[in-house]
Amino acid sequence: MSHFEIGEHDFLLDGEPFRVLSGAIHYFRVHPDHWADRIRKARLMGLNTIETYVAWNLHSPEPGSWDTSGRLDLARFLRTVADEGMYAIVRPGPYICAEFDNGGLPTWLFTDPGVGVRRGEQRYLDAVGTYLDRVDEIVRPLQIDQGGPVILMQVENEYGAYGDDGDYLRFLMDRMRAGGIEVPLTTVDQPRDLAKGSIPELHMTASFGSRSRERMATLRAHQTTGPLMSSEYWDGWFDSWGDYHHTTSAADSAADLDELLSLGASVNLYMFHGGTNFGLTSGANDRGVFKPIVTSYDYDAPLDEAGRPTEKYWAYRAVLAKHGEVPDEVPEDADPAPVDEVPLTGRLRFLDAVDAQPAYATRALPSFGELRHDAAILVHSTRLTLPEGGILTVGEVRDRVQIIVDGQCVGVLSREWAQTTWALPPVERELVLVVESMGRVNYGPRIGEDKGLIGGVRIDGVAVEGWSTRALSETDLGRVARSAAQGTAAAGGAIAGLTLAHARFEVDAISDRFLDTTGWGKGIAWVNGFCLGRYWSRPPQRTLYVPGPVLHAGTNELTILELDGAPVPVVRFVADADLGPLET
């Protein structure tokens, strides 16, 4: 068995100085059948370690639940790292940010307003303690002293940007130690927050993406002994809907990485391979303007979303070769993805499809938290007659609502534009409001906020009461999507809003594909029941990544939930990804 520790100047592996050269791969953002390929390519670039966050909200979607199946099999991921002869860093949070829904914190934590997240509030600590016990149970036998790959674990995540409760950090540390975690424990913060985000018992590391010499000097001023490490070296950035696709100069980034390594520092590239926010897992940011994050987490990383080496991969490999040995072997070139086009034939009205879902009768309009914390969409309906129409107002929209009068969509209110008012036409029998969560805030004080039409609904100043609501989680939406195969066949023509549309396509050889969403409005896509994620006609993202392992030889099925309406009723698979326009 080996031993890993923090020395006076260096990390020490079996007593000898060891530089950690790590790359981030989040197991939950990559199909499990691709884990080995991505990890191997990290080794071929010259890295010796793989880092991952742990997403509490995925593993524990309900209080008391714990799921490690499929792409949540953390133990399998860590064993795959070991099989490649590499080491591992595990960062369980409990808060991870990661541009991930709710920063990785389960939404059920926030249904009780008295729970105090990321601080020493007892109900929160009880929940966190149970979570860490379960993570420790997985990681404990996979530590390096036990013959496994894990050499470091992180406590919390950029905590100095949020708070300075040292007792809370000490609770997390003690709970991990009590769970049998013996490897060194670290913290990470941006240089300006280092003074608040750690305690003396934990080893500080820094997060940044440029000016390495300056940032390392700041870290050394706070962490006066032990190895220097940037455990989040930002080599790219994430994208938000309505923005452009972010990229950074491969040459400039490689030069800065060279400077970092010349200082003798260790590094974790964030990200080595970003992957995809499969399902409805992408988060959002709100610093006065709500900005939901796209489905792709390509991150302009050394490996792109489909696991192919980029210009940055080769630039980083050349830098790593200056500071140590890299393998002679290099990854093989990837072929273009198969191109295909088939019609979207089956059509089913979404509101008809959700009729089978249980309905909740309430007097006042309920929010997500009041009705169902894990909902992705709430469908509210009320019987109403307004011969002259009226002015509908809501307190606050979180995040988007489609207004349907007597079966016809008459308007949309969006959080991004701070809209709260709509002029209704005459209503004969029914008002329906379809409220969509577009991703929970993952950074800052608005983490954990409720979703829905906050403050209820008024028409001409009078509160509307007597609602019937159907709450659909991601799982429910997948179940509803499967019913589209029994929808009415359509000869062609545009797809109306709030429609489930279905297509079948043939596959000869299994390989990754790129689904072109050009000509569609806004919605969600599934292939063979696997949720690829959200799409939108807004920039930047124009394709959805389809992992080869979700396909099978022969006939495959694709379903979309089109919310706004699609003028192009076809499914197109294209040769390469299109993540949108770049900043000029």
The ranges assigned to domains in the chain are 4-323, 340-348+476-574, 364-465
User: What was the pLDDT predicted at 485?
Assistant: 80
User: What was the pLDDT predicted at 488?
Assistant: 77
Note if 158 is an active site residue.
yes
State pLDDT tens for residues 437-465.
999 999 998 999 999 999 999 999 999 99
Catalytic option among 232, 305, 416, 562: 232
How far out from the chain centre does Cα 455 lie?
28
Complete edge-to-edge strand list for the sheet that includes strand 11-13: 4-6, 11-13, 16-18
User: What is the C-alpha separation between 340 and 469, in angstroms, rounded?
Assistant: 40
User: What is the C-alpha separation between 297 and 99, in angstroms, rounded?
Assistant: 9
Q: What are phi and psi of 94, to 5 degrees?
A: -75, -20
Query: What does pTM read for this prediction?
Result: 0.97
User: What was the pLDDT predicted at 309?
Assistant: 98
Its CATH class, for the domain covering 364-465, is: mainly beta
Catalytic option among 51, 156, 158, 416: 158
How confident is the chain (584 residues) per 10-residue block, as mean pLDDT? Answer: 96 98 99 98 98 98 97 98 98 98 97 92 97 98 98 98 97 98 98 97 97 98 97 98 97 98 98 98 95 98 98 98 97 95 94 94 96 96 97 97 98 96 98 98 94 97 97 96 82 90 96 98 98 98 98 98 96 98 86
User: What is the C-alpha separation between 469 and 182, in angstroms, rounded?
Assistant: 49
Note if 137 is an active site residue.
no
Which H or E run contains 24? strand 21-25
**The total number of residues written for the chain in this structure:** 584
The CATH classification number of 340-348+476-574 equals 2.60.120.260
**Could you count the other beta carbons within 10 Å of the beta carbon of residue 84?**
17
- Which of the listed CATH numbers 3.50.50.60, 2.60.120.620, 3.20.20.80, 3.90.480.20 matches domain 4-323? 3.20.20.80
Asked whether the bond before 460 is cis by omega within 30 degrees of 0, the reply is no
Instruction: Show the tokens assigned to 441.
Output: 């805030």
User: What is the C-alpha separation between 362 and 404, in angstroms, rounded?
Assistant: 19
Instruction: Show the tokens assigned to 382.
Output: 């009320």
The number of helix segments (H) and strand segments (E) in the chain equals 11, 33
Range list of H helices, 223-273: 250-262
User: What was the pLDDT predicted at 73?
Assistant: 98
- Domains 340-348+476-574 and 364-465 equal at CATH topology level: yes
- Taking alpha carbons only, the member of 90, 80, 85, 91 closest to residue 2 is 85
State pLDDT tens for residues 18-71.
999 999 999 999 999 999 999 999 999 999 999 999 999 999 999 999 999 999
User: What was the pLDDT predicted at 1?
Assistant: 84
User: What was the pLDDT predicted at 491?
Assistant: 64
- Taking alpha carbons only, the member of 450, 456, 416 closest to residue 433 is 456
